[in-house]
Amino acid sequence: MTPLRQRMIEDMRVRNYTAGTQQNYLRHVAHFAKYFGRSPEQLDLEAVHQYQLYLLQERKLSPESVNLFVSAIKFLYLVTLEMPWSEDSFPRPMRPSKLPVVLSCEELMQFFDYVAGLKNRAVLMICYGAGLRISEAVSLKVGDVDSSRMLIRVEQGKGGKDRYVPLSPRLLEVLRRYWRGCRPSGARSAAREDFLFPSWRGDRHLTSETLRDACRDAVRQAGLKKKLTPHTLRHCFATHLLENGTDIRIIQVLLGHSRIDTTARYTSVSPQLAGATVSPLDLLDSKARQQATRHGRASQA
């Protein structure tokens, strides 16, 4: 391991970056150095600019992917190498504004009917029933499910934050059915710190990739035309809560969003709210009649 890589790792650990973020940052910096065949310490902002153009124009990466590289390289130069550059020296490509895909209740029921395996179905129902990210759902521990208070504890979610989400009676029944069906008969009682959804290795949890594959298979077999990933179920959770009248600030807390404007985009997603909005065209005739009536009364007076 090079001294620069070690320093960058230490800088990220001090700031409590997650293991996934550390791996992604190191990967992007390593690819950047490999592209030029030199250490990043010997490269400048012009090299960063050229590499961004390479990612966008030659590799055809999405703005989201390029922005991950920008975050990594900005951390390297501004934090680890302490270069006297401003944050404006690391421009980010503009991301197209896209609304997340949301399924109707009927489509969701059809989707869950085709999810293969009790374990896969239980994890995906947590994503929808409690609004968890797939990384949060697969890493749940047995002790995180509090059936006495009907809560699920999400430990160290995105941003290193803990939070509680509701455990619905139906979701609790799904989890109990999964536990009875998948827990080997006569096996030792699970400790509170054991993974709720262990992989075949036992000491690790189910992978996110496994759930993405299960999603893809279920969508194909159900004949759904919409693109669906585990994260889509989280979008459905937020949108359906909003349609049912839940306060957007409560939805923000349940999703673990730091900023309300991140949650507010779901007001643009809900087709039910859009469909319930009365067009001013529909009110045109009645308002015209009201105005004519007022003018007639004024002239008579």
| pLDDT digits 0-9 by tens, 150-176 | 999 998 767 667 888 888 899 999 999
The one catalytic residue in 28, 74, 133, 240 is 133
Please list the residues that pair with 151 across neighbouring strands. 146, 166
| pLDDT digits 0-9 by tens, 31-58 | 999 999 999 999 999 999 999 999 999 9
Q: Looking at the structure, tell me whether residues 221 and 257 fall in a common domain.
A: yes
- CB within 8 A of 165, min separation 6: which ones? 130, 131, 132, 151, 152, 154, 254
| pLDDT at residue 6 in the model | 95
The one catalytic residue in 153, 158, 163, 265 is 158
Among the listed residues 35, 77, 27, the one whose alpha carbon sits nearest the alpha carbon of residue 52: 35
Q: Looking at the structure, tell me whether residues 60 and 149 fall in a common domain.
A: no
C-alpha to C-alpha distance for 130 and 127, rounded to whole angstroms = 6
Q: Is 235 a catalytic residue?
A: no
Q: Is 28 a catalytic residue?
A: no
Q: Is 114 a catalytic residue?
A: no
Q: Looking at the structure, tell me whether residues 263 and 115 fall in a common domain.
A: yes
Whole-model pTM: value is 0.66
Q: Is 13 a catalytic residue?
A: no
Number of domains in the chain: 2
Domain of 24?
3-89
C-alpha to C-alpha distance for 134 and 62, rounded to whole angstroms = 22
Residues of the chain with pLDDT under 70: 97, 157, 159-160, 183-192, 202, 267-289, 291-292, 295-301
| pLDDT at residue 242 in the model | 85
The one catalytic residue in 28, 234, 235, 240 is 234
Contact 107, 226 (CB under 8 A): yes
Q: Is 161 a catalytic residue?
A: no
Q: Looking at the structure, tell me whether residues 129 and 260 fall in a common domain.
A: yes
